Amino acid sequence: MELNTIERDDIGAAAEDLVVPPAATRKVFVKTYGCQMNVYDSQRMTDALATDGYAATDAIGEADLVLLNTCHIREKAAEKVYSELGRIRELKAERAKAGREMLVGVAGCVAQAEGAEIIRRSPAVDLVIGPQTYHRLPAVLAKARSGEKIVETDYAVEDKFEHLPQPKRAELIRRAVTAFLTVQEGCDKFCTFCVVPYTRGSEVSRPVAQIVAEAERLADAGVREVTLLGQNVNAWHGRGEDSEEWGLGRLLFRLAEIPGLARLRYTTSHPRDMDDELIAAHRDLPALMPYLHLPVQSGSDRILKAMNRRHMAKDYLTLIDRIRAARNDIALSGDFIVGFPGETEADFEATMQLVEDVNYASAFSFKYSPRPGTPGAEMNDQVPEAVKDERLQRLQALLLKQQQHFGASLVGKTIDTLIEKPGRQAGQKVGRSPWLQPVIVDEKAGEIGDIIRVRITKTGYNSLFAELA
Ligand code: SAH
Ligand code: SF4
Ligand code: F3S
């Protein structure tokens, strides 16, 4: 079906009757689903739209453009988008009655995976744009404003980062003292449950100079903590300033030299790509925070093999030992899937055992969700929903217990905290521990952006309370 021929609107008013607001008075409402990379992408899209005359708004009712940056990782995530589009369709109809146009865009991983299908299912959608093409947003919007329906999901030959505008320093200063920075994108691993290799494309590393320049701009605007992002961030590689091939470890050492940048993190890593240099960075680089998100998914070798993770449970445990030997206060976090096809009670017990062996500071766990186009969805022995539910409950109870133990083990200790923002309650500020927990302090303990020494007094559900040391 030729997309441009799809009827522009099924909601009453003809497109040509609607007032297209002039640039500089237009507003965009962006809603973000999914992972940190989507958060980063939403920011970059907002910046690109700012140069196209769209100011960001938090009020969907006043938006001339509603942009959903979507996630396809599990069925629930993808379906959320369609229920949101149902609500937006009504809003669009109301706006049309009032004589004003509202464009609706779908970006991100659902856009990449489903393309034109989104417009078929939700005719209120005007444009669909993928994660590798969003630098073309201003051009796509120009067409959409003149009444075309656009699907822009072909992988671009050009590097989007070369074409995206950088926000002004004054704008960056207004933002947070922590920031994300994508250094690597896409995935070549093809785990049999996962859509990411299809939605984000193959692995690409951004060049060193681009990354350093972006980190310097952030630091210059007061950012104290940068989290490097990648679907397989530890597979990042590139030609360094010394013309040698660098891995993520070398890159972290380089970024630690930037004045003002006090804290570095990276996520998400694959166990297969943790090399010696990266482990050495955890040993030698004080700016690298002692917290590592290292998903394993399962503790059963049989299931790991069926998932195409390409390592065994004992490889993961050995790796954790090496990382802990390099940095003994490192806290570990992971991702788990329960109910992958063929998972028996014994396989699940192996996962529980691995969790006992590692002792996580935090973790994310999910019921397996069969995804269209992935090998897992075609496998026999899909696990019944009730079994998945029951296993997830057992796993989450164990993980929660470990997380609470970890929090409790910090009470009485003196730690560094980066003050990030005002607290929800008057008189408080919220900081961040080296292990990513929110730390509640008195508002007079320091200014936003300060790193202060605090003593942990007690734990909350997911946070720590502290006083100046
Ligand atoms: N690149 C990361 C993970 C990205 S997706 C890695 O390799 O670990 C984030 C998490 O979502 C995964 O770690 C996995 O636990 C979960 N996930 C991915 N696909 C899933 C699916 N089909 N069903 C349930 N959980 C899934
Ligand atoms: Fe998905 Fe596996 Fe790639 Fe992670 S490594 S993004 S889980 S395919
Ligand atoms: Fe979701 Fe895409 Fe991130 S599928 S988890 S938004 S890479």
Going by DSSP bridges, is the β-strand pair 362-367/464-468 parallel, antiparallel, or unpaired? Answer: unpaired
pLDDT at 10: 33
Q: Which residues contact 258 (CB under 8 A, 6 or more apart)?
A: 212, 215, 216, 219
417: pLDDT strictly greater than 70: yes
Residue 171 banded pLDDT, cuts 50, 70, 90: very high
Centroid of ligand 3 to alpha carbon of 239 (angstroms): 27
Dist. CA 54–CA 47, nearest whole Å: 9
**Which one is predicted more confidently, 340 or 15?**
340
Confidence of residue 299 (pLDDT cuts 50, 70, 90): very high
DSSP 166-178: PPPHHHHHHS-SE
Looking at ligand 2, which residue's alpha carbon is closest to its atom 2? 191
Q: Which ligand is nearest to the CA of 374?
A: 1
Confidence tier at 16 by pLDDT (50, 70, 90): very low
- Compute the average pLDDT of residues 143-158: 90
Task: Give the pairing type, strands 438-442 and 150-152.
Answer: unpaired
pLDDT in tens, 378-407: 999 999 999 999 999 999 999 999 999 999
Give the model's pLDDT for residue 5. 29
What pLDDT does residue 82 have? 96
* Ligand 3 atom with minimal separation from the 38 CA: 6
Instruction: Answer yes or no: is pLDDT of 18 > 90.
Output: no
How far apart CA 43 and CA 286 sit, in angstroms, is 29
Residue 90 pLDDT greater than 80, yes or no: yes
State the ligand closest to the CA atom of 365. Answer: 1
Which H or E run includes 462?
A: none
Residue 9 has pLDDT above 70, yes or no: no
The predicted pLDDT at position 270 comes to 98
Q: Is the pLDDT of residue 13 over 50?
A: no
Q: Which residues on neighbouring strands pair with residue 185, listed in sequence order?
A: 204
Cα(first)–Cα(last) distance of the chain, in Å? 66
Instruction: State in Å: Cα 464 to ligand 3 middle.
Output: 29
User: What is the pLDDT at residue 175?
Assistant: 94
Q: Is the beta carbon of 199 within 6 A of some atom in ligand 3?
A: yes
Question: Mean pLDDT of all residues in the chain?
Answer: 94
Q: How many Å lie between the centroid of ligand 2 and the Cα of residue 307?
A: 10
> Looking at ligand 2, which residue's alpha carbon is closest to its atom 4?
231
pTM of the model: 0.94
Q: Whose CA is nearest to atom 1 of ligand 2?
A: 194
- Say yes or no: CB of residue 108 within 6 Å of ligand 3: yes
CA 299 to chain CA mean position, Å = 25
Among the bound ligands, the one closest to the CA of 187? 2
Enter the DSSP assignment of 194: -
CA distances (Å), origin 6, targets 147, 225, 254, 335: 10, 46, 51, 41
pLDDT of residue 25: 83
For ligand 1, atom 8, name the residue with the nearest CA: 295
Among all bound ligands, the one having the nearest atom to the CA of 267 is 1
> What are phi and psi for residue 143, nearest 5 degrees?
-65, -45
Who's near 377: CB < 8 A, 6+ residues apart? 370, 371
What per-residue confidence (pLDDT) applies to 461?
Answer: 86
For residue 348, give Cα distances in angstroms to 122, 192, 338, 380, 387: 39, 18, 7, 18, 11
Output the CA 117–ligand 3 centroid distance in Å: 19
Residue 12: predicted pLDDT: 35
Q: What is the dihedral of CA 377, 381, 385, 390, to 10 degrees?
A: -120
Q: Which residues contact 350 (CB under 8 A, 6 or more apart)?
A: 298, 299, 300, 301, 303, 313
Residue 12 CA to ligand 3 centre (angstroms): 35
Q: Would you say 261 and 215 are in contact if contact means Cβ atoms under 8 Å apart?
A: yes
SS3 193: coil
Rounded distance between C-alpha atoms, residue 40 and residue 205, angstroms? 16
Q: Answer yes or no: is pLDDT of 29 > 80.
A: yes
Name the residue with the closest Cα to ligand 3, atom 7: 196
Residue labelled with tokens 């408080």: 428
Q: Is the CB of 73 under 6 A from ligand 3?
A: yes
